[in-house]
Amino acid sequence: MFKRSSGVLAHVTSLPSPHGVGTMGRTACEFIDFLADAHQTYWQVLPLGHTGFGDSPYQCFSAAAGNPYLIDMDLLVEYGLLTADEVRSGDFNASPDVADFEQLADTRWPLFRKAYSRVTPEMKAAIADFTEENREWLPDYALFMALKEEKYHHAPVYMWPEKDVRDRRPEALARVTEELRGEIDFRIFLQYIFFKQWNALRAHAKEKGIQIIGDIPIYVSADSSDVWTHPELFKLKSDLSPKLVAGVPPDYYSAIGQLWGNPVYNWAAHKKTGYAWWIWRMKSNMALFDVVRLDHFRGFAAYWEVDAAEDTAVNGKWRKGPGMELFRAIEKALGPIPLIAEDLGVQTDEVRELLRASGFPGMRVLIFGFTPDYDNEHLPHNYLPNSIVYTSTHDSQTVCEQIMDICSEPEKQFAYRYLRTSHAEAMGWSAIKCVWASPAHIAMTTLQDLLSLGADARMNTPATIGGKNWRWRVRAEALNPTVAALLGDITKTYMRG
């Protein structure tokens, strides 16, 4: 399904922008142009969802809704919903290097409301059509957000004081829907704008020959419209708080494991529906992307389940996942679709067999291979053709940080020899050449490695919250013709263009 090709991983928020965060506007189109000039095939993004606690794209209020912060403000001017002066009035002293989500929370929403107040009759008709096309999730999501943000003062769903609303009693839903109609419609408007801009951006990518790889987190947030509307699909208490939560046991990233806090699935309930919710989720994502990465693939074979009262992920248990039964149901409903399995971490024969049976390409990461061990599966000479391989990932150190700050001296010397680094070439370029030369069908680099950046450019540190996580941004001048030409030359040399 996948040919020999390559691409760059960079989240939308990391792109340049004059308004404090990367968006789906002009600079995103320019980044696509940069990739096309560099003879790339793929742009990989992180989940696009409406972020919640900690601004993590892996903790969202909905499995389908888009993040309003990705809406481009200058395009709202083009639509006639804001003026340029109004957009400038919402600007702050934004750093070109980091996204300031706290400032965005203070400045974006008044402008969004002003734009909403100027919706034309023609746009209202388009929004009505959009609402009908997305009736499976949009009205519930919009009501959920209106309740959460306006009526219950941002409380999570399991702390909502009105039990009849929390339990979705029809008469209670009718009452609050009438009470919050304006707030519901405002949030539907934001989703209409989000998808209007994303679809335009994707059309530009298609025109330039760039395919977009999306990302599906295996779990949804405990505080989400999905949990509220489908509580039977999760292992919850009667108040909708998680009874059992997801995570991973101690591993490379953390000695106490990672306790994610997401409710685990009631897979027996999913099976009874023929996995209808997962089929809907996959269909929704394939409408947005050309290829989809399945985060935490091993959780479909077996998942780590922890009592919600635990403080760490140490005291958990492995539980059997749905395995191929789920993927057969998806393929029966939607046909073959291009999926990538994120199969990093501790693997078992069960996980390897699921990957083999699925036929999906698995992932390998160069920086995990810097041990003098011939059999290390993360070293390029061991890559399988049916795999997608990275210099580093959004959850890891960059190549430069790993070699310079993390590796022991023997590991560092091995990395230098393996990559054939020299003073004449940036370390990131040596890593890219090494991965591009491998037999893997798809080779990827992060934008940070493309620019040979270090620890300050790390996107996320797993098992931590806040701090610099998810905030890194690239400067516009870094995405220049010289960099594009160098990447394009490497891509052509190793026959990936």
Name the catalytic one among 86, 149, 395, 411.
395
Residue 91 bears catalytic tag: no
Q: Which of 342, 343, 401, 449 is catalytic?
A: 342
Q: Which of 55, 72, 226, 295 is catalytic?
A: 295
Cβ 341 vs Cβ 360: under 8 Å: yes
Task: Confirm whether 395 is a catalytic residue.
Answer: yes
Give the active site residues: 295, 342, 395
